[in-house]
């Protein structure tokens, strides 16, 4: 169902976020887009104060998914099993998982996300980087259970239209 429905383009997505933030500024709304980490860059460009948010992509920072069977993944859209609360404590997995540690380290990012001046506040969508850098194209069908690592969750977010400049 919905397979033939085309997604909006990255440029349209960016435009939608800008329009949303124009309304946020005008009406003093408290809005935090999910799965759109570039909102931090856009908000900064528009002069909006987003200091209450740590980073755009919060997977592994203060957010993860715990499945009913106890399996833990970084976010619902990044279905890579990092452990299970049936085998280890949540604290053990949260603080010692190599993937969680890597997600928290913006120095690990690759491609244009790796040298972008907004990498600390945006971080790119790690799920989108993973999904679009692999053969993992079943966006919803496999999200009900964790999978093995297939793509590169550290590569650049292909939906970001910002053209980061590599420093020399």
CA neighbor of 74 nearest in space, from 150, 10, 126, 115: 126
Total domains, the chain? 1
Query: Is residue 24 a part of any domain in this protein?
Result: yes
Structure tokens that stand for 55 in this block: 């980073």
What is the chain's length?
Answer: 168
Query: Is residue 121 a part of any domain in this protein?
Result: yes
Q: Sorting pLDDT into bands at 50, 70 and 90, what band is 168?
A: very low
pLDDT of residue 143: 55
DSSP strand E in the chain: where? 65-66, 71-73, 83-84
> What's this model's pTM, rounded to 2 decimal places?
0.81
Query: Is residue 14 a part of any domain in this protein?
Result: yes
Residue ranges making up the domain that contains 41? 10-132
Pairing type for strands 83-84 and 71-73 reads antiparallel
Q: Sorting pLDDT into bands at 50, 70 and 90, what band is 150?
A: confident
74-98 confidence digits (pLDDT tens)? 998 888 999 999 999 999 999 999 9
pLDDT of residue 142: 52
């Amino acid at each position: 169902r919905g397979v033939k429905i085309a997604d909006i383009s990255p440029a349209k997505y960016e435009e939608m976020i800008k329009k949303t933030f124009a309304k946020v500024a005008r009406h003093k709304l408290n809005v935090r887009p999910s799965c759109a980490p570039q909102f931090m860059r856009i908000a900064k460009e528009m002069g909006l104060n987003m200091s209450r948010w740590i980073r755009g992509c919060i997977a592994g920072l203060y957010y993860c998914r715990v499945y009913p069977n106890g399996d833990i993944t970084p976010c619902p859209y990044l279905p890579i099993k990092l452990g299970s609360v049936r085998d280890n404590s949540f604290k053990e997995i949260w603080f010692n998982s190599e993937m969680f540690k890597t997600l928290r380290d913006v120095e690990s990012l690759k491609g244009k996300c790796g040298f972008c001046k907004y990498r600390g506040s945006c971080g790119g969508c790690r799920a989108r980087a993973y999904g679009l850098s692999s053969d993992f194209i079943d966006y919803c069908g496999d999200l009900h259970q964790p999978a093995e690592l297939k793509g590169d969750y550290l590569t650049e977010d292909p939906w970001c239209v910002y053209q980061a400049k590599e420093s020399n």
